[in-house]
Amino acid sequence: MFDTIAPRYEVVNRLITFGLDARWRTRTVRALGLPQGSVVVDVATGTGELSSVARRAGFEVLGFDLSFGILEATTSTLPTAQCDAAWLPIASGIADGVVCGFALRNFTERAGCLAEMARVLRPGGRLAVLEVGAPERAVTRVGFDVWFNKVVPLVGGAVSDAEAYRYLPRSVAYLPTPDALREELCTAGFSSVNRHLLSGGLSQLIVATKRGRP
């Protein structure tokens, strides 16, 4: 599916988020709270938009994704490799930070992917996961539901691939509840798990720290 939508992926993102995703990506990278020169792994990097933000922030970035098509459509020149997020081809503890944008709900082996993120991080390393949210205020929620469930599939269908953008709202069902995700992160080896709602809950940012003595 991501091979198919790769060529128009970034255009559709801009349209369906009104460009807000750029702000959310900056916030995600900043949430790592790491100094310049840190090594950051972008899991399920897609076309590398989070990677580019991380690079501009002064980090050394490596990106991984399952889809060859989406890696080919990348706009960045940063190093990437094709692999499953449940088996990252890098040594344990080499990363200071891991970012993961809008991919959690696509992982069929979520526990394995979270464990891999923990494995590649050094103790004390930071994780920042950006995901679709759900506004808490009733009025915003109604507008969001109409936009996400009705308008996004139409926009995505017109500009890219209809089936893929019908899947997008359905895929939210695969997201764990905040409490369940906190539990999964703790099991994977993280502590200090915090969740922040962005733009009134249109998206959510989950940050955590790899357990262990730095």
Ligand X SMILES: C[S@@+](CC[C@H](N)C(=O)[O-])C[C@H]1O[C@@H](n2cnc3c(N)ncnc32)[C@H](O)[C@@H]1O
Residues that bind ligand X (CB under 6 A): 2, 44-46, 49-50, 65-67, 70, 84-85, 101-103, 106-107
- Minimum CB separation from ligand X for residue 195, in Å? 18
**Residue of closest CB approach to ligand X:** 46
Of 60 and 84, CB closest to ligand X: 84
Q: How many angstroms separate the CA atoms of 173 and 140, rounded?
A: 19
The least distance separating ligand X from the CB of residue 2, rounded to whole angstroms, comes to: 4
Q: How far, CA to CA in Å, does 112 sit from each of 49, 115, 193?
A: 24, 5, 18
E strand or H helix at 210: strand 203-210
CB of 115 to ligand X, least distance (A): 13
**Ramachandran angles phi, psi of 88, nearest 5°:** -75, 130
Cβ closest to ligand X, residue 89 vs residue 123: 89
Residue placing its CB nearer to ligand X in the complex, 44 or 185: 44
**Does residue 136 contact residue 108 with C-beta atoms inside 8 Å?**
no
Nearer to ligand X, 81 or 142 (CB): 81
C-alpha–C-alpha distance, residues 184 and 198, integer Å: 22
Q: How far is the CB of 139 from ligand X (least distance, A)?
A: 27
Instruction: State residue 191 phi and psi, 5-degree precision.
Output: -135, 180
